[in-house]
Structure 1
Amino acid sequence: MRNLLPVLTIVTAILVIWYAAAVALNAQWVRDQATRAGHELSLPALVEATWSQDKPKLPAPHQVAVEIWQTTGAMVLAGRGFSKRSLFYHSWITFSSTALGFLLGTALGVALAIGIVYNRTMDMSVMPWVIASQTIPILAIAPMIIVVLNAVGISGLLPKAMISMYLSFFPVVVGMVKGLRSPATMQLDQMRTWNASPAQTFWKLRLPSSMPYLFTSLKIGMAASVVGAIVGELPTGAVAGLGARLLAGSYYGQTIQIWSALIMAATLAAVLVGLIGLVQRMTLRRMGMA
Structure 2
Amino acid sequence: MTDTTLPSPRNNLNPFAGLMSGTVGPVTVVILAILAIWYIAAVALNAPFQNSIYERAKRTDVTFAELVSDTFSQEKPVLPAPHQVFGEISKKTIGTKLTSKRSLFFHAGITLSPTLLGFFIGTTLGILLAIGIVHSRVLEKSLMPWVISSQTIPILAIAPMIILVLNAINITGLLPKALISTYLSFFPITVGMVKGLRSPEVIHMDLMRTYSATRVQAFWKLRLPYAVPYLFTSAKIGIAASLVGAIVGELPLGATGGLGSLLLVNSYYSQTVQMWSALLMAAFLAGSLVALIGILEKVALKRMGMSR
TM-score, normalised relative to structure 2: 0.92
**Structure 2 residue 28 is matched with structure 1 residue 28:** no
Q: 1: CA distance between counterparts of 2:59 and 2:196?
A: 67
Q: Secondary structure at the match of 1:58?
A: coil
Partner residue, 2:123: 106
| TM-superposed deviation, 1:81 | 1.6
Match of 2:166 among 126, 149, 157: 149
Alignment gaps of 5+ in structure 2: 1-18
Aligned position for 2:6: none
Aligned equivalents of 2:217, 2:129: Cα separation in 1: 19
CA distance in 1, matches of 2:148, 2:23: 37
For the pair 1:92 / 2:109, whether they are aligned, the reply is yes
Question: Residue 74 of structure 1: SS of its match in structure 2?
Answer: coil
Out of 298, 301, 305, the residue aligned to residue 281 of structure 1 is 298
> Which residue number corresponds to residue 250 of structure 1?
267
Q: Give the distance between the partners of 2:226 and 2:58, measured in 1 at CA.
A: 72
What is the 5 A alignment of 1:1-290? Answer: 1=19, 2-40=22-60, 41-75=62-96, 80-290=97-307
**1:46-75 deviation line (CA, Å, top 9, x unaligned):** 000100000000000000011001100111
Which residue identity does 1:3 align to in structure 2? T
Shift of 1:289: 1.1
The alignment's C-alpha RMSD in Å is: 0.6
Larger radius of gyration: 2
What CA distance in whole angstroms lies between the structure 1 residues aligned with 2:230 and 2:23? 25
Q: Where does the alignment leave 5 or more consecutive residues of structure 1 unmatched? A: none
1:195-254, Cα deviation, whole Å (9 max, x unpaired): 111111000000000011110000000000000000000011111000011001101100
One-letter code of the match for 1:255? Answer: T
Tell me the CA shift for residue 82 of structure 1: 2.0
CA displacement at 1:172 relative to structure 2: 0.2
Aligned partners of 1:29, 1:124: CA distance in 2, in Å?
Answer: 58
> What residue number does 2:5 align with?
none
Distance, in Å, in 2 between the alignment partners of 1:49 and 1:164 is 41
Hey, which bits of structure 1, 4+ residues long, moved more than 3 A?
A: none
Shift, 1:178, TM fit: 0.2
Partner of 2:295: helix, strand, or coil? Answer: helix
2:179 and 2:287 map into 1 onto residues whose CA distance is 21
Q: Which moved more, 1:176-185 or 1:34-43?
A: 34-43
Deviation, 1:189, is 0.4
Shift of 1:115: 0.3
Give distance in 2, aligned partners of 1:238 and 1:139. Answer: 16
Aligned residues: 286
